[in-house]
DNA sequence: ACTTATAATCTAATCACATTAGCCATTATA
DNA sequence: TATAATGGCTAATGTGATTAGATTATAAGT
């Protein structure tokens, strides 16, 4: 019997499941059961089996986050825009632990796809940084700094790694403020270098 | 026949294997083969099987890193000490991809142990920060900031996530300098608060 | 409507580990 | 030298992923 399933529907169900029980517990067996089909049937949607499902989850996660980030940055500029982006990132990680795991986890073995996946988030960052007077080289450093911090901080927070009772919110704000100050100190830096115009990866 | 193995030896072999092929490819089957024994024999060393092995790898990783960090900080103070610690962290991640994965990965499901494991690194950080005029609260924020950044940056770098040809070394330096500047701006901050004296977790 | 092609499921079988149970030889020790 | 602890093994079990091939249901064309 047809069940009216499609790839995206399945990915969303899997994502919810990952958020609830952790990505490691999203097995084809359990997923199939939740969907009311048998494990082998999943291969009609994911030729590559479990591995492909994980990759799709990773991609879906980045696309979702990218969407939220883009929305959050609209109508804001400079520091406000950056703070908004960072806040969205952190909240996304906290609200989608499983998906966020997938976004980092898949990347643990494979790689290429992940580079593409994060591209859009990076672009938004770059656009926001255009409002500052910075060289393209400086922009790359800055995006890398924020990206590294966001990923590490969110990952540690997500897994309860910050044991101290002191507010994690305050720490997050503190760090962002510190990094933003660093950007302000650069104002008046060198001019744009054409060589970087094309390559907005980070 | 006795093979003269012991837990630590096995952990080291497993760690090397992880660095070479990735933690996901360290199976009891392959590990046993490399050690010249059969998989079931490994249970004599690791009651908890594969899960315990992974936990031990995680702990071994943090202990090793902690050792290197402690050594690196000796004879240095303030910014020099922090730079040394960060550099060691990053190099460790780059030089022990597999072990570094284990350090973060195991923590993906479990948790308590990991909190303990990172304790020492955190302590060293705190000691170094004692040389600055900072409140304990500020110190916690700062350690969290560095910890988050180091983990995220190293993780992304390790997995080839920084596609731009621009020097990753420069980006790393840039970020550290930025964060250190942030600390300098705080000099002359509030006095120490006794409430934090006991809890040095982060 | 009727036949054919396509798509979505299923069952049965296979594989790759991890893990458990229980046997045996070797080492250490009382 | 008995005897217990140690470290290794073989055989068997269990779980989940994956493959092969059959089956049914939808869709398309006549």
What is the rounded CA–CA span in Å between residue B17 and residue B9? Answer: 12
Q: How many domains does chain B have?
A: 1
What DSSP assignment string belongs to B28-85?
HHHHHHHHTS-GGGGGGT-TTHHHHHHHHHHHHHHHHHHHHHHHHHTT--HHHHHHHH
* pLDDT at residue number B194: 43
* Domain boundaries, position A124: 56-196
> Residue A144 in contact with residue B155, Cβ under 8 Å?
no
What is the rounded CA–CA span in Å between residue B108 and residue A24? Answer: 9
Does some domain include residue A146?
Answer: yes
What is the rounded CA–CA span in Å between residue A3 and residue B130? Answer: 63
> What share of chain B has pLDDT > 70, as a percent?
90
* pLDDT at residue number A186: 83
d(CA B62, nearest CA chain A) in Å: 14
Burial degree of A75 (CB within 10 A; 0-12, 13-18, 19+):
exposed
Opening angle at CA B24, ends A114 and B46, nearest 5: 150
pLDDT tens per residue, range A123-168: 999 999 999 999 999 999 999 999 999 999 999 999 888 888 789 9
- Maximum separation of any 2 CA atoms in chain A, in Å: 66
Does some domain include residue A23?
Answer: no
pTM: 0.92
| Residue B161 Cβ < 7 Å to strand C | no
Does some domain include residue B2?
Answer: no
Does some domain include residue A162?
Answer: yes
Q: Residue A124 corresponds to which tokens in the numbers above? A: 């938004």
Distance B189 CA to C4 C1' (A): 82
| Residue B58 Cβ < 7 Å to strand C | no
Burial degree of A151 (CB within 10 A; 0-12, 13-18, 19+):
buried
Chain B residues near residue A24 by CB distance under 8 angstroms: 108-109
* pLDDT at residue number A117: 86
In chain B, count H helices and then E strands: 9, 0
Q: Residue B128 corresponds to which tokens in the numbers above? A: 């170094």
d(CA B18, nearest CA chain A) in Å: 12
Does some domain include residue B93?
Answer: yes
Burial degree of A124 (CB within 10 A; 0-12, 13-18, 19+):
middle
Rounded alpha-carbon distances, angstroms, from residue A195 to A143, A150, A192, B66, B98: 17, 27, 9, 41, 35
pLDDT tens per residue, range B38-89: 999 999 999 999 999 999 999 999 999 999 999 999 999 999 999 999 999 9
Which nucleotide minimizes the distance between its C1' and the CA of B40?
Answer: C19
| Residue A40 Cβ < 7 Å to strand C | yes
pLDDT grade for B189, boundaries at 50, 70 and 90? very low
What is the rounded CA–CA span in Å between residue B26 and residue B56? Answer: 13
Residue spans of chain A under pLDDT 70:
1-2, 108-111, 188-200, 202
SS (H, E, C) A63-88: HHHHHHHHHHHCCCCHHHHHHHHHHH
Does some domain include residue B117?
Answer: yes
* pLDDT at residue number B108: 59
* pLDDT at residue number A107: 72
pLDDT tens per residue, range B77-135: 999 999 999 999 999 999 999 999 999 988 755 667 778 889 999 999 999 999 999 99
Q: In terms of pLDDT, which residue wins out, B14 or B189?
A: B14
* pLDDT at residue number B199: 56
A-facing residues of B in 84-123 (CB < 8 A) are: 101, 104-105, 107-109, 111, 114-115, 118
pLDDT tens per residue, range B141-179: 999 999 999 999 999 999 888 888 789 999 999 999 999
* Closest listed residue to residue B32, CA positions, set B43, B46, B19, B42: B42
What is the rounded CA–CA span in Å between residue A76 and residue B57? Answer: 45
3-state helix, strand, coil in chain A (%, to 5): 75, 0, 25
What is the rounded CA–CA span in Å between residue A25 and residue A19? Answer: 10
* pLDDT at residue number A200: 62
Q: Residue A23 corresponds to which tokens in the numbers above? A: 């990505």
Does some domain include residue A142?
Answer: yes
What is the rounded CA–CA span in Å between residue A140 and residue A114? Answer: 18
Q: Residue A27 corresponds to which tokens in the numbers above? A: 């097995």
* Closest listed residue to residue A124, CA positions, set A192, A69, A174, A173: A69
**CATH, residue A98:** 1.10.357.10
The rounded radius of gyration (Å) of the Cα atoms in chain B is 19
Does some domain include residue A35?
Answer: no
């Amino acid at each position: 019997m047809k069940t009216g399933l499609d790839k995206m529907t399945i990915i969303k169900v899997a994502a919810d499941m990952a958020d609830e029980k952790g990505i490691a517990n999203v097995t084809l067996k359990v997923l199939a059961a939740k969907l009311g089909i048998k494990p082998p049937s999943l291969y009609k949607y994911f030729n590559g089996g479990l591995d492909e499902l994980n990759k799709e989850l990773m991609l879906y996660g980045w696309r979702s986050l990218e969407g939220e980030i883009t929305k959050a940055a609209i109508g804001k500029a400079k520091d406000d825009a950056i703070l908004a982006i960072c806040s969205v990132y952190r909240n996304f990680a906290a609200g989608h632990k499983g998906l966020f795991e997938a976004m980092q986890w898949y990347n643990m073995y494979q790689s290429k796809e992940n580079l593409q996946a994060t591209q859009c988030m990076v672009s938004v960052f770059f656009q926001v940084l255009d409002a500052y007077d910075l060289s393209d080289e400086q922009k790359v450093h800055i995006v890398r700094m924020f990206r590294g911090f966001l990923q590490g901080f969110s990952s540690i927070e997500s897994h309860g790694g910050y044991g101290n009772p002191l507010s994690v919110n305050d720490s997050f704000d503190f760090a962002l403020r510190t990094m933003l100050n660093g950007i302000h100190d650069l104002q008046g830096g060198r001019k744009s270098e054409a060589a970087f115009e094309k390559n907005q990866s980070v």
